Amino acid sequence: MLRGLYTAAAGLITQQRRHDTVTQNIANINTPGYKQETAVQRAFPEVLLAMTGGYSDNPNRTVGRLNMGVFAEESLSPYVRGLVTPSGETTDFAVESNIIVNDPATGQPMNFDSSGKYVDENGQVTYRPEAFFMVRDEEGNVRYTRDGHFRLDELGTLRTSSGAEVLDENGDPITLTGSVKDLKVNGRGQIQGQFREGDQQTEITLGISIIDQPYQLIREGNGSFRLDTQSGATARLLQEDDVVEIKQGYLEGSNVDATQSMVDLMAAQRAYESNQRVIQFYDASLDKAVNQVGRV
């Protein structure tokens, strides 16, 4: 009888994690460049039930299979682009990318679906590469972000809203002089009319990296991600034939679907309540078995 109690308890934990994931998405619905998380649920391995004894011609008669509950296996982030809207700030940037990848079997461009996924005839899944800004955190680690809400500090260093340094294509922090109002950046991320520290004018280009497997990125908070090299994911610099455009004075919003998030939130709450009632039922049954039947 306790099998159902453990199954319901596993359901409670899973729905709580699902609820936490959805509430995090709702809390960041207005965060530039935020990528929503989706909790992936997985059932425990099936257990085969069988009856010993039985008829002579079938001594081990199979009853069936039973799952012992579910658990929240992981959280995945769909890296589809959020809505790009004008902000009017010269230090705000949005990345619009449509990287073309050819199918090695046919030589034709892959037709990615709305989630950025392509499945070939053999069932092999390929995800569309995505473009990210290169930044460096306080510990000197290179990270990647789609949050283009940048600012200049008192020394003229271009930083993210969380304080990370924005890097150029050479991996160096971008330091500018002059008025922010005069800052001009073209569609390839090249900064025009600005100077690096020193007396000579230098060409500066925003560091844009192409992540070939964006689903292998690991979320680190503050809108930044790190590359999981152990999974085989790689990052490369923007190339001339990449279909990527940098839009100055625009920001990419989060890709959180508010309507679907509210539906998922209510579904998680209802499932949590259902598992809770199952536990209450088992608790009442155990109470009768111990305190009432046990006295007879």
Question: Dihedral angle at the C-alpha atoms of 144, 146, 149, 155, nearest 10 degrees?
Answer: 20
DSSP 170: T
CA distance 228 to 215: 10
For residue 95, what are its two tokens?
């990345």
For residue 135, what are its two tokens?
């930044």
* CB neighbour burial string for 108-137, b if at least 16 within 10 angstroms, e if fewer: eebebeeebebeeeeeeebbbbbbbbbbbb
Q: What's the pLDDT score for residue 119?
A: 86
Enumerate the β-bridge partners of residue 117: 127
Closest listed residue to residue 11, CA positions, set 280, 276, 281: 276
CA distance 215 to 116: 10
CB 5 within 8 A of CB 279: yes
Mean pLDDT rounded to a whole number for the chain: 83
Q: What's the pLDDT score for residue 296?
A: 57
Q: What mean pLDDT do residues 134-151 have?
A: 92
Return the SS3 of 38.
strand
What band does 183 get if pLDDT is binned at 50, 70 and 90? confident
CA distance 162 to 154: 15
Enumerate the β-bridge partners of residue 173: 167
Q: What's the pLDDT score for residue 23?
A: 92
Query: pTM value?
Result: 0.78
252 burial (CB, 10 Å; 0-12 / 13-18 / 19+) is buried
What band does 8 get if pLDDT is binned at 50, 70 and 90? confident
pLDDT at 213 exceeding the cut of 80: yes
State phi, psi for 37 to the nearest 5 degrees.
Answer: -105, 145
pLDDT digits (tens, 9 = 90+) for 22-68: 999 999 998 998 988 888 887 777 766 666 655 556 666 666 777 77
Return the SS3 of 65.
strand
Among 6-10, 22-26, 38-42, 285-289, name the most confident range.
22-26
